[in-house]
Amino acid sequence: MTVSRVLLTNDDGIDSVGLEALREALAEVAEVTVVAPAGDQSAVGRATSDEVTIHEHNHGYVVDGTPVDCVIAGLGDLVPDADAVVAGCNKGANLGAYTLGRSGTISAAVEAAFFDVPAFAISMYIPGGEDWYKRDLSQSEYKNATQAAKFLVDRSVGTDAFETADYLNVNAPVFDSEQLVPMEVTRPSKLYDMTAERNGGSITLTDRIWGRMNDGTLPDPEGTDRRAIVENRVSVSPLTAPHTTERYGELDKLVGVYNGRWRPQRVSVGLWYSQNLSPTQVPISARVPLIRWCVSPVVSVHSLPLWPRLLTGYVHTELPSPSLLCGCWVSCGLGLSSPPQEAVGIRLLPLYR
């Protein structure tokens, strides 16, 4: 598939140098329509508005809203035929798993994925101290980022590159040499180093990652996005937008317990008698459809009182005379095949209805 029209947005605002540098590069391979915020919307995440004002611009539209507003307004009305959405080029990197939900640049790409439109988040890492963001950059310094973005937009859409990925998070170092730097497929680093320090009535929140990047002291392993940038490569992380879910049997059981309807795969009851306290298993005829045991699957049926860990349920069954009942144990699909020898003292009162 050839991309013919690109919706370009960002979170630094319509007048940013990175946006114009990226627009010029993408214009070499596709028609580009800009739908960008009127001002700086950095780190707004996926914030949205109920209504936004739009203004025409030489290269598209200016939106009084967030990057996500720009994507929704763009794909929903202004540029509905866009083949791809590109967000950037952001002044500052978006590296590490913990940054993905904060970034306006990333969030624009995520929103596009819900429209089922391939998306790209393009950012540039700028080394320096705490005031790195004050550095004035020329369009040429964005070249590593813009050339990587142009290549990926032109060559990846419609291929297996997006078979499992919804968007590509691209980070590039500043272009400061004669040669473009190489590219590497990466995964977001899981390293996290936020700190909080109280100063009287306020708390200072500090992200120490960036200082450690300058010092070269980050323990990011091979294959991570930050490691690639530190070693002067373009990082490309294929990511998915919807939060995925995994089904875990134990969680299903806990939810069933909460709802009062967890049914074990098998229920057997063992009895012992007051005459000798011998753990003799007595067969009991149980009508399974009426069994509604709510026993926590993590209960250890040893010398622990069972009542605090037993939720009320109903058992319809045939029992010997209750006067003979001293205690019992319950096997609820836990792999028990005989009464535990230590079960003396566990008491369970069958309920009838």
Helix (H, G, I), strand (E, B) or coil at 328: strand
Helix (H, G, I), strand (E, B) or coil at 99: helix
Could you give phi then psi for residue 34, rounded to 5 degrees?
Answer: -85, 130
User: In CATH terms, is domain 5-239 a member of 3.40.1210.10?
Assistant: yes
Domain ranges of the chain: 5-239, 249-343
The CA distance from 305 to 314, in Å, is 19
Residues 287-343: tens digit of each pLDDT: 232 233 333 333 333 333 333 333 233 333 333 333 333 333 333 333 333 444 433
Residues 211-257: tens digit of each pLDDT: 787 777 788 899 999 999 999 999 999 999 977 777 677 887 888 88
How many Å is the Cα radius of gyration of the chain? 31
In the chain, what are the helix, strand and coil shares in percent, each to the nearest 5?
25, 25, 45
Mean pLDDT, the chain cut into blocks of 10 residues (353 residues total): 94 96 98 97 93 96 98 98 97 93 95 97 87 83 97 95 94 92 96 92 89 79 93 96 75 81 46 36 33 33 33 33 36 38 36 30
Tokens linked to 345: 């003292």
Q: Is the peptide bond before 332 cis (omega within 30 degrees of 0)?
A: no
